[in-house]
Each structure stands twice: as structure tokens, then as C-alpha cells.
């Protein structure tokens, strides 16, 4: 092959990029993402992809370290009252929002109340036990709780802890996501849907000496192969969610480095028993579908054995895993018997999957496995936004769903399994499960919380509003010109200390 032909071939594989991107500052980080984020508003956003952008735009009251322990960010310290119903937080002095406004206790009160009261808020359920927020002095505020709420600090390590400029939020109203103003290391520049989101270094950032990158271009590239091709050709510097099957290729490339850590979240098949006419309304059919799946084989076939098979909202390696319910083994004979008992030996089910490079493969393997038990699974692929809209409206039967996870298991359960909670796409509602969720939230005592997780498992793992399948190994690939990268189990890059050489 001639040099010209080879060059043309590579060019054909690359994502279309603006001409200006070929001549970039050495300190512009080009970040390849699997999806285009939803609204860039911490109160309204609900996607993993948006959290990646917020990691650059919006500091939180609290962050987590690689060991998942909370560390100060916008708040330098905090105290919980003996009755566990009042949290006092002290803000870092001298912090400013991107519009120059000061981050003080009044701004923190505004942001938290916005999360609680704004129409369409995705944070309301996460911090619902908050009763009132009081300004004590310029840098101190108190949060008064209706009841003790163990996950509160963990919630503040994510979007519920992100502070927005009151001035900008009031000026922009429901258009805030078009020009978000936070207090992170980078400020918003532009967004071209499905093409790029651009942010630039904020010169007045409180920790500016640790920010070496001048500009970040977040580029949504759904196809994992194309993302990697762009990285190898020098058109990207960092990519997230490397395909597990590409790990050997990256490991052999002297110009690339690999980062990995198991996620906090889960991959599951959400089930919608309430959908009219669905055979999934029968718990025996849901149990049969569960028994038809070999999680280990699924991991090997699609993910090169890199992921971790599981059956709960946390992985078998997590201290809150309920060991009384180990990962079930595949049992096709029992699955057939259950379908016979249900009077539905050949149930037909539509499985909705993301139209990316991996999800359809997972769907096809599940389809083949379930067929041996008698299921006729039809696969429906759609883009990310369409599937979320279908989930919101209950317009699905089975949905291959990914959740990036939270440091506290409450973030993987309450909003999915509590009655009428915002992410409860299965419309699951059980009094015993609700009681267990309230119990785990109501104490910081580890033994009492573990007892509550067991109580929750007793109900949910038998009712099966969803089938937990796997826990991903989060995989990043990046140029060795990038130094300072650390893999965090929440899947988010920290830009502090990153440098392009």
C-alpha cells in the first residue's frame, strides 16, 4: 500500500473534525467520550456523560479520593450533630464563580434549594430529607434534616453538591444549561451538539496552580473502534470506556497508556412488568429469564473477561454486597419448567439497547442464551436520548441499562427501587423494600445499614424489577504525553495535576 493510500485510509476512519483542531495548543486536551451529554445543568442532568463534563466545570462541596473516602473541595470541613439531623459546613474562602460572583453561604443555600425546588430537578430525590438550609455567616451554613440521612455527604460528592452562580441561574432561568456558570477549574466556551463541548481554564480558580491544561474539547464518538483510531492517529489525547477487546492492542502500543478500575455502578436489564400484555408481568417469567443467562459467559464473549459478573446493585467485591444471595448459576431446565408453570413456554419480549458498539452484542448474546429456555427476544436499538425518553414514559418492556454508580450504595438503590422515585423506570413499589431503603438512610451505623441491605435484597432479588448482570472495569486509554492521570472508581477524570508534555 502506498503512503498516500494509507493516509487516505486513516483519514476515512477519523471522525470529522474542525480544521482548526489540527493545529492545537500543546495544552489542549481532546477527550473522546462514548455519548453526547444531556443538559449541562447540575440540577437537571442525569447522564454519566454530563458528569464527565461537570468534573471540569463544576466543583462540588465534597469530592472523593481513589479510595472512595470524602475529601474537601468547596467545603473545607463539616460536622454532624449528635442526633445526626444537622450538618454544618464551612466553605473555602476566596472562591469565585466563573462570572466573578463570590461563592459564599448564601450561594450554597441557593444551589441546594434549587436542587430541591426547581421543576424537573433530578437531585430532589437524592437530598429529599433536607428540611431547611440556614446561613450562619459568610462562609458557614447549616443543613437541617427531617430525619437522619446517612448518604448526605456521599450525595454532595456528585451533582447535588455542585454549586451554581445564583446571578447566572436567575438570569438564564431554564436556559442555564446553554451557558452554565459554576466554580470549577474550567469555564464554559461553547457546545456544538453531537460534535464537541469546549471549556477553557478559569484563571481565578481557587486551585489554579494545579491546573496545567488550558483547554478541553469533549468529543462524543459513540463507536469504540473510531474513538481508538482517533487516539492512535493523534486526534485525541484521552478516551473513556475503551472496549475491553481493545485492551491488548493498547497494551502493545508504545505510545499509549491504559487506566482501569472497577466501577461503582452496574449493568442490568430493567424490566417493565406493567407494560400492557407483557409476559414479564408474571414473576415466574422474570425468574426464568434470570436463570437463562450465564453471566460469566456473557462477560467472556462480549467483554473479554474484563468485567465482573454480579447480581446486585453493588459488586461482589463491595463491603455492602449481600453474601446470602450469590451470583446465580444458569439453569435452563429450571427456566423451562418455570415458563411451563406460567403457561408461557415461548414468551416474546422486546429488549431495548443503546445503538453503540457494545450494547447490541450484549443483547445478541442474551437473545441466544434465552432462546434455549424458550424465549423469543426481539432486539430494538435506539440512541441514548430516545431510550431515556422511552424509560421515562414506561414505553419499554426490557431495557439494557447502565448506571455509573455512587460512593454510597444508596445512590445505586433509592432512586431506582423506592416507590415513585425519579429513576424507578420499572415502576417498582413494595412496602418492605421501601422500609429497607428508609432504614439504610436513617443511620450511619454500618451494622444497621448492612441489615437494611439484606432486608432490601430479600424483596428485590425475588421480585426482580431488573436483572443485575455485570460491573464494568472502567477503561481509559491515553497518550503517554499525558501525565498525572489517575483512575477513579466513579469513572470521572480529575483535571487537577494533568499535564500534556
Average pLDDT over residues 469-483: 97
Per the prediction, the chain carries an average pLDDT of 93
Tally of CB atoms within 10 A around 371: 13
124, 129, 132, 134 alpha-carbon torsion, rounded to 10°: -100
- At residue 26, the pLDDT reads 56
Q: Decide: 294 and 300 in contact? Cβ < 8 Å.
A: no
Measured CA distances, 337 to 397, 424, 461, 488 (Å)? 22, 30, 20, 44
* 90 bridge partner residues: 77, 140
Sequence-ordered list of residues with C-beta below 8 angstroms from that of 185, at least 6 positions apart, any chain: 56, 59, 201, 202, 205, 207, 208, 211, 495, 496
Give me the sheet containing 75-80, strands edge to edge.
Answer: 75-80, 86-91, 140-145, 130-137
Per-residue pLDDT of 232-279, as tens digits, reads: 999 999 999 999 999 999 999 999 999 999 999 999 999 999 999 999
Per-residue pLDDT of 331-347, as tens digits, reads: 999 999 999 999 999 99
Cβ neighbourhood burial of 200 (10 Å; 0-12, 13-18, 19+): middle
pLDDT score of 377 more than 80: yes
CA 166 centroid distance within chain: 26
- At residue 125, the pLDDT reads 84
- At residue 357, the pLDDT reads 81
Task: Give the DSSP H or E segment for 67.
Answer: none
Per-residue pLDDT of 8-19, as tens digits, reads: 333 344 444 443
Task: Please choose, from the candidates 282, 325, 348, the residue with its C-alpha nearest in 3D space to the C-alpha of residue 468.
Answer: 325
Q: Which of 361-365, 371-375, 393-397, 418-422 has the lowest mean pLDDT?
A: 418-422
Average pLDDT over residues 98-124: 97
pLDDT score of 1 more than 50: no
Would you place residue 413 in the very low, low, confident or very high pLDDT band (cuts 50, 70, 90)?
Answer: very high
pLDDT score of 230 more than 70: yes
End-to-end CA distance of the chain: 33
CA–CA separation, 336 and 470 (whole Å): 24
- At residue 66, the pLDDT reads 84
pLDDT score of 196 more than 90: yes
Alpha helices per DSSP H over 247-305: 247-252, 283-291, 295-303
- Report the helix count and the strand count for the chain, using DSSP H and E: 15, 21
Q: Decide: 295 and 310 in contact? Cβ < 8 Å.
A: yes
Per-residue pLDDT of 138-171, as tens digits, reads: 999 999 999 999 999 999 999 999 999 999 999 9
- 327-331's contacts with Cβ under 8 Å and 24+ in sequence apart are 327/295, 328/290, 328/291, 329/294, 330/291, 330/292, 330/293, 330/294, 330/297, 330/369, 331/291
CA 268 centroid distance within chain: 13
Report helix, strand or coil for 3.
helix
Amino acid at each position: 500500500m502506498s503512503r498516500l493510500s494509507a493516509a487516505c485510509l486513516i483519514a476515512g476512519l477519523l471522525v470529522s473534525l474542525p480544521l482548526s483542531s489540527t493545529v492545537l495548543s500543546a495544552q489542549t486536551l481532546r477527550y473522546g467520550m462514548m455519548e453526547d451529554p444531556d443538559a449541562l445543568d447540575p440540577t437537571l442532568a442525569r447522564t454519566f456523560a454530563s458528569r464527565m463534563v461537570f468534573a471540569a466545570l463544576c466543583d462540588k462541596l465534597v469530592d472523593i479520593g481513589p479510595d472512595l473516602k470524602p475529601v474537601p473541595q468547596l467545603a473545607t470541613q463539616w460536622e454532624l450533630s449528635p442526633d445526626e439531623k444537622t450538618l454544618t459546613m464551612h466553605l473555602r474562602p476566596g472562591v469565585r464563580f466563573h462570572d466573578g460572583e463570590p461563592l459564599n453561604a448564601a450561594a450554597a443555600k441557593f444551589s441546594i434549594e434549587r436542587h430541591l425546588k426547581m421543576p424537573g430537578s433530578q437531585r430532589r430525590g437524592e437530598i429529599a430529607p433536607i428540611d431547611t438550609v440556614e446561613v450562619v455567616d459568610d462562609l458557614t451554613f447549616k443543613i437541617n434534616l427531617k430525619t437522619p440521612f446517612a448518604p448526605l455527604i456521599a450525595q454532595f460528592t456528585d451533582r447535588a453538591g455542585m454549586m451554581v452562580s445564583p446571578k447566572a441561574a436567575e438570569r438564564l432561568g431554564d436556559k442555564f444549561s446553554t451557558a452554565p456558570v459554576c466554580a470549577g477549574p474550567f469555564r464554559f466556551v461553547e457546545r456544538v451538539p453531537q460534535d464537541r463541548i469546549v471549556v477553557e481554564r478559569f484563571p481565578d480558580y481557587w486551585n489554579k496552580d494545579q491546573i496545567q491544561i488550558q483547554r478541553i474539547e469533549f468529543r462524543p464518538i459513540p463507536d469504540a473502534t473510531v474513538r481508538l483510531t482517533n487516539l492512535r492517529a493523534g486526534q485525541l489525547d484521552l478516551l473513556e470506556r475503551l472496549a475491553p477487546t481493545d485492551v491488548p492492542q493498547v497494551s502493545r502500543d508504545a505510545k499509549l497508556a491504559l487506566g482501569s478500575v472497577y466501577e461503582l455502578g452496574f449493568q442490568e436489564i430493567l424490566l417493565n412488568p406493567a407494560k400492557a400484555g407483557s409476559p414479564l408481568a408474571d414473576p415466574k417469567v422474570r425468574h426464568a429469564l434470570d436463570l437463562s443467562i450465564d453471566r460469566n459467559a456473557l462477560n467472556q464473549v462480549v467483554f473479554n473477561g474484563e468485567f465482573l459478573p454480579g447480581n446486585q446493585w453493588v459488586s461482589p467485591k463491595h463491603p455492602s454486597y449481600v453474601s446470602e444471595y450469590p451470583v446465580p448459576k444458569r439453569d435452563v431446565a429450571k427456566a423451562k419448567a418455570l415458563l411451563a408453570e406460567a403457561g408461557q413456554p415461548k414468551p416474546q419480549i422486546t429488549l431495548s439497547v443503546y445503538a453503540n458498539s457494545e450494547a447490541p452484542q450484549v443483547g445478541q448474546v442474551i437473545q441466544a442464551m434465552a432462546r434455549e429456555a424458550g424465549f423469543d427476544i426481539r432486539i430494538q436499538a435506539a440512541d441514548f436520548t430516545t431510550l431515556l425518553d422511552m424509560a421515562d414514559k414506561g414505553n419499554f418492556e426490557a431495557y439494557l441499562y447502565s448506571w455509573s454508580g455512587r460512593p454510597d450504595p444508596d445512590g445505586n438503590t433509592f432512586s431506582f427501587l423506592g416507590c415513585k422515585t425519579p429513576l424507578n423506570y420499572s415502576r417498582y413499589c413494595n412496602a418492605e423494600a421501601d422500609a429497607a431503603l428508609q432504614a439504610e438512610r436513617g443511620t450511619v451505623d454500618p451494622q444497621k445499614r448492612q441489615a437494611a441491605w439484606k432486608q432490601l435484597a430479600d424483596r428485590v432479588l425475588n421480585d426482580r424489577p431488573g436483572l443485575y448482570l455485570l460491573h464494568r472495569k472502567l477503561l481509559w486509554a491515553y497518550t503517554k504525553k499525558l501525565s498525572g492521570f489517575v483512575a477513579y472508581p466513579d469513572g470521572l477524570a480529575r483535571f487537577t495535576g494533568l499535564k500534556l508534555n
